[in-house]
Amino acid sequence: MKTLITSSLLLLLAGSAWAKAPNILFILADDQSWSGTSVRMMPNEAGSASREFHTPNLEKLAAQGMTFSQAYAAHCKCECSRAAIQMGRSTSTLNATDKNARNWSAPVTDSLVNTLKKADGTYRAAHFGKWQWFHTPESMGYDASDGITMNEDGDTTDPEDPKQSFSITQRAGAFMESQVKEGHPFFLQLSYYAVHQTPQALAATLKKYEGMADASKGGRGDRAVMAAMTEDLDTCVGAVLKKLDDLGITENTLVIYTSDNGGRTSLLNGGKGDLGEGGIREPMIIRVPGIKGGVNCTTPVISYDLMATVLDFAAPGFVLPKGVEGGSWKPLLISAGKAPVKRPIDRFVWHQAVEVEHPQSAIRRGDYKLLYFWDTKEGLLFDVVKDLGETHDLAKQTPDIAARLQAELKAHIRAGIGEQASAALERGEFPQGRGPGKGKGPGSKKKDGKKMVK
């Protein structure tokens, strides 16, 4: 009863803190791993942050807001993850499970920004940076954008604007200034091209990292340039936050920082392109005016929760489009991580059948995650709270849980991509000519004694 009263009081106080419709600043990094910043996503786990990359502005943001140790991307690849964010549902439900998907199950009129404008027509919206889909930003409700842009658009020849990070930041500042002058609340999404390959950085920043080991000894790209590119991105984040201060709107602006998918880390299994924790767990920091800072939240959240969250802050009580699967983070944020996130379906589902050796799907419910491989018909069960690196398969130890999750996973996938496509997966017929993987499946791939997803 005491907890209920406290939560209700917090909700009341937070609601009264917003004198007018709040601004939402959503910053999306590209391919930044869970440990790709100098902010620890788990306070007591050194490996949840980078010792090489320096992101002082994100450290400051974390001190003012909340970090999430179990934040997930909707997909392990850029395009699908971005589609889920815009549409508020899992990629399989949206039928957008690969970059060539064209027959989405929801109309763009139901997108996040279009829905926000239906709820409150005074909002203006902008998207700057990487887009990566055939639908235009304008069709999804954005008033200003860079249009349809791809990975290669981020690579520049301007030494003062590596990865377009600084020009994106300038456009963001101009947009915010314009909205303040005109009296409009805004939703601003900054989809930086950093830290996607190929790395680019300012010469002055790169000089700080001279002597750093080259990634040719165990990775892609020059490690020093990656570190410098990450710091340049952080510098731009700092500039955007300073612009909020300069415009006098910091106390009425919700700031969300995260990545579109994960990457290789020292702790997590797998990386970009697969459904190990490395590929889908991502950094996340959120700052809410009037809410206590320096808090770490262990509640699992997922990027397609964004639509429900934005609408809950901007237009509480507005009915979301049918089929939206995300839940609002607002109660979680204002209760210092104690209140639950309520979703229509309390599970996370991922599907990745292309550009990977073993076509795979995954489901997380509670602390358990089932990783299923369509070519080997192998289901691996992990307790990802106790077993962060997914090293101990519990499928044989708890076969009832594994079977229940596998059935639920397949039903979710089938409902999203359709009976025909689902039946083809069961027969071993994979998109884009993908056949069965080599060897015995993921269990045959090991690194440092750990089972690795390939």
How far, in Å, CA of 131 to CA of 192, rounded?
10
pLDDT of residue 212: 83
How far, in Å, CA of 91 to CA of 61, rounded?
30
**Which secondary structure element, helix H or strand E, spans residue 14, and what is its range?**
helix 2-17
What is the tens place of the pLDDT at every residue in 376-409? 999 999 999 999 999 999 999 999 999 999 999 9
Which pair of tokens denotes residue 193?
């091209």
pLDDT of residue 423: 96
For every residue of 279-345, DSSP letters joined together read HHB--EEEE-TTS-SSEEE-S-EEGGGHHHHHHHHHSTTPPPPTT-----SHHHHHTTT-SPPP-SS
pLDDT of residue 432: 61
* Contact (CB, 8 A) for 176 and 244: yes
Matching residue, tokens 């990783």: 371
Q: Where are the alpha helices (DSSP H) in 108-222?
A: 112-119, 165-182, 203-207
Omega before residue 324 within 30° of 0, cis:
no
Q: Is 414 exposed, middle or buried (0-12, 13-18, 19+ CB in 10 A)?
A: middle
How far, in Å, CA of 413 to CA of 378, rounded?
16
How far, in Å, CA of 199 to CA of 425, rounded?
36
Say which residues have a Cβ less than 8 Å from residue 121's Cβ, sequence separation at least 6. none
Residues of the chain with pLDDT under 50: 1-16, 215-220, 433-454
pLDDT of residue 4: 44
Strands 295-297 and 144-145, how do they pair? unpaired
The whole-model pTM stands at 0.92
How far, in Å, CA of 335 to CA of 332, rounded?
5
SS3 at position 129: strand
pLDDT of residue 20: 85
Q: Is 149 exposed, middle or buried (0-12, 13-18, 19+ CB in 10 A)?
A: buried
Point out which residues pair with 68 in neighbouring strands.
297
How far, in Å, CA of 273 to CA of 77, rounded?
6
Omega before residue 198 within 30° of 0, cis:
yes
3-state helix, strand, coil split of the chain in percent (to 5) is 40, 15, 45
Please name which of 296, 333, 247, 338 lies closest in space to residue 17, comparing C-alpha atoms: 333
What is the tens place of the pLDDT at every residue in 320-333? 999 999 999 999 99
pLDDT of residue 406: 98
How far, in Å, CA of 237 to CA of 265, rounded?
23
Cα within 13 Å of Cα(349), Cβ side: 27
Q: Is 421 exposed, middle or buried (0-12, 13-18, 19+ CB in 10 A)?
A: middle
